[in-house]
Amino acid sequence: MARRAPRGTQDIFPEQAAAWQHLEKTAREVFELYGYGELRTPMFEKAELFIKTTGETTDIVEKEMYTFSKGRGQYALRPEATPAVVRAYLNQRLDRSAPFQKLYYIGPMFRHERPQKGRTRQFSQLGVEVLGSYSPLVDVEVISLGIHLLKAVGLEKTAVRVNTLGCAECRPGYRDALKGYFAERLEGLCDDCRRRLDRNVFRVLDCKVPTCREMLADAPRADQHQCDNCRKHFETVTATLDRLECAVEVDHSLVRGLDYYTRTVFEYVHGSLGAQDAVGGGGRYDNLIENSGGKPQGAAGFAMGMERILIASGAGEDEAALRPVACVVAVDDDCREYALATADRLRKAGISADLDFEGRSIKSQMKRANRVGAPLVVIVGPDEKDDQEATLKNMDTGEEQTLSLDKLPGAISNSPIIQTKETR
């Protein structure tokens, strides 16, 4: 039997899960603070959805999608959520009935990439999408929300890069300028980029091959070809971010590896991550809803990689997250069932309690209580069992007190040690 998880995936054990739960909880709080509601979409969609929206010539669709067929359908594990959010929005006809929506999602995505630090084949994203507005203030809200979230999880030092890619009006002129520039330098382009030249020249800007990258320094830039509306939009975005004291850096070389972006694009980058330094990224996608068959509606959003946030914030293992308030210790084998009944009583009163199931001696049960850091131990022996009682021991002071089972939960809740120790 294969014991290893598939390459590029991981098992998350309880000690690590605590950091994941904390991140999810913080993200939900921040998203809700800004008025976003959760949308849960399926883990797989028709493959065609991503081919048509993420883009046929993108790495994600060309190389990385996990596709499978069942019956007559061709499906893909979702490599990203934005197309799925738009699909769900159109499925509910929200473009007509309630076009303005602020949604968030948290969940796993799948891309067949070469695994390395911060890059896995199953990874999780936290994301937001605002649908139904062309306002540059939406871009600002989305970008600043991301900064707020990263600060809330301890990533104060994340840099934010922003750029503008133009719209349907000014992009054709930019496309022609790029084509002209690269056509004169064909010999320096990699094979992929030569193909991309005709299919989608913008992809060349995203190429990682060094000889292609060298050419980018002098390549035409989107801002040199943008129309007045795009210029005004971007000026409002940067000026308002400034007013909100969100430090961002305009980076005209920033292009994102997905096809649907228009106007503002941005990335959150963190130095500690090495080659995969983007903790998140996003942008505006004003044509996606219309191109997917809906009424024209502007939209913008971002997604962040949870693994990368956890790496950058140095989240480690947290044993304390599993620390019970009380360990119930059975004095001998005849008391084990009574010990479980005692723990049950505590749990039903909302007090976390744990006990031994391995037939350990009283000494090793006490040692274990010490090791897990339980502030209280509840000892049950033959006398306690006969009298429906238990002996409560304070692990700090060593103080002991025998109580009826009925009074035990109240005594624990009122114990000063519970008020002072951080326990669950």
Task: Please state the closest distance from residue 276 (CB atom) to ligand HAM, in A.
Answer: 7
Q: What are phi and psi of 64, to 5 degrees?
A: -115, -5
Residue holding tokens 């040692």? Answer: 367
Task: Please state the closest distance from residue 102 (CB atom) to ligand HAM, in A.
Answer: 12
Calpha distance 159→268 (Å, rounded) = 6
Residues 288, 53: contact at Cβ < 8 Å? yes
Task: Please state the closest distance from residue 120 (CB atom) to ligand HAM, in A.
Answer: 5
Enumerate binding residues for ligand HAM (CB under 6 A). 80-82, 111, 113, 118-120, 123, 125, 127, 129, 258, 278-283, 301-305, 307-308
How many CA atoms lie within 13 Å of 187's alpha carbon, on the beta-carbon side? 0
Task: Please state the closest distance from residue 28 (CB atom) to ligand HAM, in A.
Answer: 17
Identity of the residue, 301 or 324, whose beta carbon is nearer to ligand HAM in the bound complex? 301
Tell which residue, 304, 302, 300, 303, has the closest CA to residue 136. 300
Identity of the residue, 64 or 384, whose beta carbon is nearer to ligand HAM in the bound complex? 64
Task: Please state the closest distance from residue 84 (CB atom) to ligand HAM, in A.
Answer: 9
Identity of the residue, 308 or 345, whose beta carbon is nearer to ligand HAM in the bound complex? 308
Identity of the residue, 127 or 375, whose beta carbon is nearer to ligand HAM in the bound complex? 127
Identity of the residue, 41 or 394, whose beta carbon is nearer to ligand HAM in the bound complex? 41
CA 252 to chain centre: 27
The residue of the chain with the least Cβ separation from ligand HAM equals: 305
Identity of the residue, 202 or 338, whose beta carbon is nearer to ligand HAM in the bound complex? 202
Task: Please state the closest distance from residue 45 (CB atom) to ligand HAM, in A.
Answer: 13
How many CA atoms lie within 13 Å of 254's alpha carbon, on the beta-carbon side? 24
Quick one: which H or E segment has residue 75? strand 73-77
Identity of the residue, 280 or 381, whose beta carbon is nearer to ligand HAM in the bound complex? 280
Task: Please state the closest distance from residue 98 (CB atom) to ligand HAM, in A.
Answer: 20
Identity of the residue, 276 or 365, whose beta carbon is nearer to ligand HAM in the bound complex? 276
Identity of the residue, 302 or 338, whose beta carbon is nearer to ligand HAM in the bound complex? 302
Dihedral over Cα of 44, 45, 50, 54: its sign: negative
Task: Please state the closest distance from residue 423 (CB atom) to ligand HAM, in A.
Answer: 34
Task: Please state the closest distance from residue 80 (CB atom) to ligand HAM, in A.
Answer: 4
- Amino acid identity, position 396: D
Tell which residue, 379, 421, 382, has the closest CA to residue 403. 379
Coil, strand or helix: which one is 63? helix
Quick one: which H or E segment has residue 59? helix 59-59
Calpha distance 110→42 (Å, rounded) = 13
Return the number of other C-beta atoms located less than 10 Å from residue 124's C-beta.
21
- Amino acid identity, position 318: D
Residue holding tokens 């000014």? Answer: 170
CB within 8 A of 121, min separation 6: which ones?
Answer: 6, 7, 8, 9, 110, 111, 112, 113, 115
- Amino acid identity, position 9: T
Calpha distance 210→286 (Å, rounded) = 32
What's the helix, strand, coil split of the chain in %, to 5? 45, 20, 35
Identity of the residue, 173 or 257, whose beta carbon is nearer to ligand HAM in the bound complex? 257
H helices, E strands: number in the chain: 17, 16
Task: Please state the closest distance from residue 422 (CB atom) to ligand HAM, in A.
Answer: 31
